[in-house]
Structures are given as structure tokens and as C-alpha cells.
């Protein structure tokens, strides 16, 4: 029996079901084995505890009225989102090598739904990371904001950032197709994205050329948004609408490109 043609009104619901098909399996696997989440939590601890405490003593680090630790915490949260999402492609290459991915690609689900399913599950990982960073920040006495609107905003930003960097990672995975090559490229990419942003220092400290690089780096807007909403005295440099708009547009672009390239993984 062929699958009934979805009616236009139903089409959206069908599309969401297909996104859920992929996202739900990923989230089930994550819940079953959260060890990766825990090992990833180690990095923010090191950054905040070691790097943060030392750098807080550097005079002349103008962090616009915030203490350096306050300034740093949102940057580290964004960093942990970046790092866990940017290597997402490797698990997809792994699934391709096992043959698990073919099962999805041979289904009639639109390729964009398959990619979005992965993006949604990356967001769930990101939010789990955020819980850990928030707990740590609380222990360090960082002035966190717990207003419901702010929390929702941070969750949305983390979801968007995870979706953006994970689909970007998927794009690369579709192009390189092997774990070895992917690891190489992943290492090369993460450091520049991280350091050429406002995550750990204000971009005013950068030379001019680097400031322009930072301004075209989506992580800068991710950090700006989180810095605005995560802290009690958060102030946005670029404005929340700009932060969200940049992330949304780039995510849309990456999803479109990744969906276009996705079938290559089965070849």
C-alpha cells in the first residue's frame, strides 16, 4: 500500500513527524548513555576555574562594568555549545559507515527533515551543557538572571547555535566523508571560530582586521545574545534582534546546504 499523499494542511504535521523521527532516536541514545555529556562538562570547568580566575586579575581588561568572570561565563557557555556541535558530523560519518544512515536516506522523508532532526537533537545536547555551566556559574557567584523570559531566550539561543554549528558540521561531513579528514578539519576550524569572537575578551582589544573577522563570526552574536540574557546586568552590543536574526538566517542557509549535500553520504 503506497503512502497516502499528504494534504497541504497535513504536510506541516508530516514534516514535523519526520523531524521527530530522527531527533527522538538521537535523544533516546543520549539519555541512555550520557557519559559524553559529562566528559564535555570538564572543559567549561577548566576554563572558568583556571583561566577565568587568573585572567580576572589582569588590569585594563575593560569588560564594560562586569567582572571578568561574569563576562567570561556566557562566552564559555557558547564555547561548549560550539565544541559539542561542531563535531556532530563525526557521528554522522560513523552512522554512514555502519549503514544506519542509509535507513533514513532511503525513506521518503525530505532530506531537510532528516538534517533538521539532527539539528534539533544537537540543540538538546546544547541545553544539557547549559545546565552544567549554569550550575558551575552559580557556585562561582556569577550574577545569573533567572527571569523566565531570559531563561527562555538563552534556551532559544543555545538551540539555534547548536543547530547552526551542527548543520555546518554536517555540511563538512558530507564533503569529506571520512572520520580522519573530518577530525583534521574540525580541529582547524574550532580554534579560529572560538578565538576570533567576543567569547573570552572584548573585541575592542583586537586589531582592526580581527575585529572585522569577529563581526562576521556567528559565534560573536551567539555570545552577545547569551551575555545579554544570562546575566542580571547583561547588556547587548548588537541588539537581541540582530543576534537572533544572524543566527536564524545562517542556520537556514546551513540546513539548506546540508540537505542538498546529505544524499552524498549514501553513495
Give the footprint of other proteins on this chain (CB under 8 A). 1-3, 6, 14, 17-18, 20-22, 24-25, 28-29, 32-33, 98-100, 102-110, 263, 266-267
Measured distance CA(33)–CA(63) in Å, rounded: 39
99 versus 207: smaller Cβ distance to other proteins: 99
CA distance 40 to 58: 28
Residue whose cell numbers read 569529506: 176
Torsional sign, CA 213, 217, 219, 220? positive
What are phi and psi for residue 190, nearest 5 degrees? -65, -45
Least distance CB 83 / other proteins (angstroms): 22
Q: Smaller CB distance to other proteins: residue 95 or 150?
A: 95
Closer CB to other proteins, residue 73 or residue 120? 120
Count CB atoms within 10 A of the CB of residue 177.
16
Separation CA 168–CA 173 (nearest Å):
9
Owner of C-alpha cell 523566565 = 148
User: What is the closest distance, in whole angstroms, from the C-beta atom of residue 94 to other proteins in the complex?
Assistant: 9
What are the beta bridge partners of residue 231?
Answer: 144
Closer residue to other proteins (CB): 103 or 208: 103
Cell of 135: 550550575
User: Whole-number minimum distance, CB 162 to other proteins, in Å?
Assistant: 21
Q: Which is nearer to other proteins, 82 or 258 (CB)?
A: 258
144 forms beta bridges with 231
Least distance from other proteins to the Cβ atom of residue 106, Å: 5
CB of 266 vs other proteins, minimal distance in Å: 4
**How far is residue 234 from each of residues 32, 37, 143, 155, 225, measured CA to CA in Å?**
36, 27, 10, 16, 9
Please identify, using beta-carbon distances, which residue of 117 and 218 lies nearer to other proteins.
Answer: 117
CB of 134 to other proteins, least distance (A): 28
Amino acid at each position: 500500500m503506497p503512502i497516502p499523499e499528504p494534504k497541504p494542511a497535513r504536510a506541516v504535521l508530516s514534516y514535523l513527524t519526520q523531524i521527530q523521527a530522527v531527533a527522538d532516536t538521537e535523544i533516546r541514545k543520549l539519555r541512555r548513555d550520557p557519559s559524553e555529556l559529562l566528559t564535555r562538562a570538564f572543559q567549561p570547568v577548566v576554563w572558568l576555574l583556571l583561566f577565568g580566575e587568573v585572567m580576572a586579575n589582569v588590569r585594563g581588561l575593560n569588560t564594560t562594568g562586569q567582572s571578568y568572570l561574569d563576562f567570561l561565563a556566557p562566552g564559555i557557555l557558547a564555547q561548549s555549545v560550539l565544541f559539542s556541535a561542531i563535531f556532530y558530523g563525526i557521528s554522522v560519518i560513523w552512522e554512514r559507515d555502519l549503514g544506519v544512515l542509509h535507513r533514513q536516506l532511503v525513506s521518503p522523508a525530505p532530506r531537510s527533515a532528516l538534517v533538521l532532526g539532527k539539528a534539533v537533537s544537537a540543540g538538546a545536547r546544547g541545553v544539557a551543557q547549559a545546565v552544567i555551566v549554569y550550575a558551575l556559574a552559580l557556585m562561582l557567584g556569577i550574577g545569573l538572571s533567572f527571569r523566565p523570559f531570559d531563561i527562555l531566550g538563552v534556551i532559544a539561543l543555545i538551540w539555534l547555535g547548536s543547530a547552526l554549528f551542527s548543520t555546518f558540521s554536517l555540511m563538512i561531513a558530507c564533503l569529506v566523508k571520512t572520520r580522519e579528514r573530518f577530525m583534521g578539519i574540525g580541529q582547524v576550524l574550532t580554534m579560529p571560530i572560538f578565538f576570533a569572537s567576543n567569547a573570552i575578551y572584548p573585541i575592542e582589544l583586537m586589531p582592526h582586521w580581527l575585529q572585522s573577522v569577529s563581526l562576521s563570526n556567528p559565534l560573536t552574536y551567539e555570545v552577545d545574545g547569551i551575555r545579554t540574557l544570562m546575566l542580571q546586568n547583561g547588556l547587548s552590543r548588537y541588539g537581541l534582534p540582530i543576534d537572533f536574526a544572524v543566527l536564524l538566517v545562517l542556520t537556514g542557509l546551513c540546513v539548506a546546504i546540508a540537505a542538498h549535500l546529505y544524499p552524498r553520504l549514501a553513495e
